[in-house]
Amino acid sequence: MSMETAKMSERGQIIIPKEVRDEVGASANTIFAVSALNKDTIVMKKIDTESYIRKFRELRSRAKRLSPAEIEAEIHEYRKSKSSA
């Protein structure tokens, strides 16, 4: 794991250094979740959009057999599993 520095622009933009982008496999349009742990620490996590798309398609293919309540339960269970990962 490498440690690089970045500077924020006047518009609040930060460029992720190339070495870090390469290490995590990020490219244009990569989506990150960003969270402040405290006043001095910001954490970024690359979002695997392909896995969300696959899961959505899987749920959508099963949705014809599910009631609205069952769909909500599936969504809740999936979000719960992702938050504990």
Per-residue pLDDT, 36: 95
Question: Per the structure block, which two tokens stand in for 68?
Answer: 């609205």
Q: Give 10-75 as a DSSP string.
A: TTS-BPPPHHHHHHHT--TT--EEEEEEETTEEEEEE--HHHHHHHHHHHHHHHTTS-HHHHHHHH
Cα separation, 81 vs 31, in Å, equals: 20
Average pLDDT value over all residues in the chain: 89
pTM to 2 decimals? Answer: 0.55
Q: Which of 5, 85, 3, 4 is nearest to 48 (CA)?
A: 85
Phi, psi of 41 (to 5 degrees): -130, 125
pLDDT tens profile 31-49: 999 999 999 999 999 998 8
